[in-house]
Amino acid sequence: MKRLSLLLFVAMSAAMISAQLYLNPQAPIEDRVEDALSRMTLQEKVAILHAQSKFSSPGVARLGIRGLWMTDGPHGIRPEVMWDEWNQAGWTNDSCTAFPALTGLAATWDPQLAYLYGQMLGEEANYRGKDVVLGPGVNIYRTPLNGRNFEYMGEDPYLASQMVVPYIQGLQSQGVAACVKHYALNNQEVNRHGYNVNVSDRALYEIYLPAYKAAVQQGGAWSIMGSYNLYKGQHACHNQYLLRDILRGEWGFDGAVVSDWGGAHDTDEAVANGLDLEFGTWTNGTTSNNKEYDNYFLADPFLRGIQEGRYTMAQLDAKVRNVLRLIFRTSMNASRGFGSMVSAEHVAAARRIAADAVVLLKNEGSLLPLAKDNSRILVVGENAIKMMTVGGGSSQLKVKYEVSPLQGIQAKAANVQYERGYTSGEKIIQDAIDFGEQLDDPRSPSQMIADAVEAACRADVVVFVGGLNKKPHQDCEDSDRESYGLPYGQDELISALAAANSRLVVVNVSGNAVAMPWLQKVPAVVQTWYNGSEAGNALADVLFGDVNPSGKLPFTFMQRLEDYPAHQYGAEGYPGVDNQVYYRDDIFVGYRHADRQKKLKPLFAFGHGLSYTTFSYANATISKKSMTYDGKVEVSIDVTNTGARAGKTTVQLYLSDPKSSLPRPVKELKAFEKIELQPGQTKTVRFTIDETMLRFFDDARHQWVAEPGDFVAHIAAAADDIKASLRFKLEK
């Protein structure tokens, strides 16, 4: 109805449209913005810069300018909440499709799936009348304890950049804005409102900003959300360096900067340093007729400051332009469709993305795929039955349905038994969502293990489904994990199952790496994610071979927590001392750190992922041995499917600069291509290297630099699996 009303309104009077340019959907947006701006009163201008409810901001009713409706994402459209409360509004028609959390999307290494993901999400947002999806998130994976890593795209800035751009393009193709978050340096949830990040400019530009830059300059993101933390002593939601100097000044961002909910703290900084839309500062509007919203930093305090001469009309108009531009791109975009919810196409897309996200970590003796016969399959573990769309903070969803791993396996096999094995205790009830899960178990932990072991002795194969969940201090907003190990005694349980049955498959469900002290005892290990509505079906598709696994890890699994560089510098490195966190790991995050520590062998490397088929690499070539600054070099390699099944793999290109004026990583990901091959088929994969791919950020000169000299192109199947290395020179 929202779209229909808009179309009828626009069509009512051609004469009115010609007189009121801002109402003409065919006119250039900048002309519409200036026309609308010229007609607004001072009070109307200030009003559109802040919230009027938990998730909406007003338009200008007098002029027929619509407001904006936000919704939490980034992997599904959040259910309706009360006007001023987080609790559910009690609707019965706001259940959505849950798509895989963004660690899962990143694990596909497939930009085409990222576009599909964004497109499907945009259709569901349109159906619900939402103008801005608060996502995707691209904060870099610095520590596996970060409770919000599951919402992000891994440890590598290039991978995150390549996946976020098509997501944004797919979403905004539906006339729904992406609000890329949390900008920037929000790499932990502990003390998230109070810690100040101390980081070198080099690490900022090389590691923590590239995905945001790509979102703006390549993806064309229409909005950006500031983060809670501080940088250089200023909150990120009104930060001169991040918002004015970099986002607007260096990158040319023309969209709206939105505060995270409660992320604004000061009118002077908000006015001067680039915040456009303020949300969530005080949200209980029920006690004084919603007047609390007028007390926001960009509300009456801003208005009074203008009237008293402390702030200028130019400062106000710059913000209003950004918000009007967002409105005309979204809520007053007459070309938007009507959308759909939980359609067959959305369900199919969710299942396809989820299956391609599953990573086969280990498969000794080709235990997987499982046979579709009358074998006795024992499924063990609470995560086999637990809903993973519930909890976790603002990304919690109210789904029409969620297929559990147990249900997915039962749909494929006839002889399936289940044992709990462990329990996490009480179920999660967040924002008054209660799906009626029964997770209590009267047995003691030792009895649950004993019962599972007894059943394992009788089974032909055991599938353990465990890992983390979305409770506080696991994968959850506003808290970090308290340890690297698995909770609820799972390590003991897995070891006991391995002793009872040698045909054991461990499925880890998480958004973070975990310790695996039992790894040598277990023949098959599968990493899956919070994979949404179709999680169970997608997992079963892979376990039984209907889908050949092709996911690759978007972050490194280290052996121990101490192997992560963020945890090698004491409390100053994480979680901080006296509200100060020091990124002494600098540019050496994830595999960059593992590479330079020659004795450090990861549990599973960045980019690792096995298949049910095998691939060979041969005939690596380079087009020439040297290139100029305005030239290019092409490298290629033949990849052959040498197995009996069709399968996909991701060919990865890393570049090395063996000698430079500043320390550089041993190698860095600079390109990748996911290919599908039939048995016996060969494909030549080609990568083109130009000078921009050879640069590092020289913080002394504040510029990107490519120094002449020798370089090496590594073609790889994973960060620790180099298939060919080719040398070339960059000439002066």
Is residue 343 situated within a structural domain? no
Is residue 425 situated within a structural domain? yes
- Give tens-digit pLDDT for 650-665: 999 999 999 999 999 9
Residues 170 and 26 in one domain: yes
Residues 286 and 228 in one domain: yes
Question: Domain holding 178: CATH number?
Answer: 3.20.20.300
Question: Domain holding 409: CATH number?
Answer: 3.40.50.1700
Residues 493 and 636 in one domain: no
Residue 379: its H or E element? strand 377-380
Please state, in angstroms and rounded to a whole number, the distance separating the CA atoms of residues 710 and 612: 38
Given a cut of 70, is residue 195 above it in pLDDT? yes
Residues 83 and 151 in one domain: yes
Q: Count Cβ atoms within 10 A of the Cβ of residue 15 and give its class: 0-12 exposed, 13-18 middle, 19 or more buried.
A: exposed
Is residue 21 situated within a structural domain? yes
Where is average pLDDT lowest: 236-240, 435-439, 458-462? 435-439
Could you tell me the two tokens for 497? 């199952």
Residues 600 and 680 in one domain: no
Residues 402 and 486 in one domain: yes
- Give tens-digit pLDDT for 475-505: 999 999 999 999 999 999 999 999 999 999 9
Average pLDDT over every residue of 690-709? 97
pTM for this predicted structure: 0.95
- Give tens-digit pLDDT for 594-619: 999 988 999 999 999 999 999 999 99
Residues 205 and 96 in one domain: yes
Chosen domain end from 555, 571, 595: 555
Please state, in angstroms and rounded to a whole number, the distance separating the CA atoms of residues 664 and 209: 17
Question: Domain holding 672: CATH number?
Answer: 2.60.40.10
Q: What is the mean pLDDT of the chain?
A: 95
Q: Give the type of residue at 392.
A: G
| pLDDT above 70 coverage of the chain, percent | 96
Angle at 9 between CA 7 and CA 13, to 5 degrees: 115
Average pLDDT over every residue of 430-458? 88
How many residues belong to the chain? 732
Asked whether 613 and 646 are in contact (CB, 8 A), the reply is yes
Given a cut of 70, is residue 427 above it in pLDDT? yes
Average pLDDT over every residue of 402-412? 98
Is residue 720 situated within a structural domain? yes
Residues 529 and 620 in one domain: no
Number of domains comprising the chain: 4
Catalytically annotated residue among 156, 260, 431, 563: 260
Local confidence band at 115 (pLDDT 50, 70, 90 cut-offs): very high
Residues 91 and 112 in one domain: yes
More confident residue, 210 or 372: 210
Average pLDDT over every residue of 166-181? 98
Residues 78 and 108 in one domain: yes
Is residue 334 situated within a structural domain? no
| pLDDT above 90 coverage of the chain, percent | 91
Residue with the two structure tokens 């949390």: 182
Local confidence band at 404 (pLDDT 50, 70, 90 cut-offs): very high
Is residue 259 situated within a structural domain? yes
Is 460 assigned a catalytic role? no
Q: Write the DSSP assignment of 145-170 as a string of letters.
A: T-TTGGGS--S-HHHHHHHHHHHHHH
Is residue 341 situated within a structural domain? no
Local confidence band at 431 (pLDDT 50, 70, 90 cut-offs): confident
Given a cut of 80, is residue 2 above it in pLDDT? no
Residues 574 and 695 in one domain: no
Which domain does 379 fall in, by range? 349-555
Residues 143 and 170 in one domain: yes
Please state, in angstroms and rounded to a whole number, the distance separating the CA atoms of residues 471 and 478: 11
Please state, in angstroms and rounded to a whole number, the distance separating the CA atoms of residues 390 and 430: 7
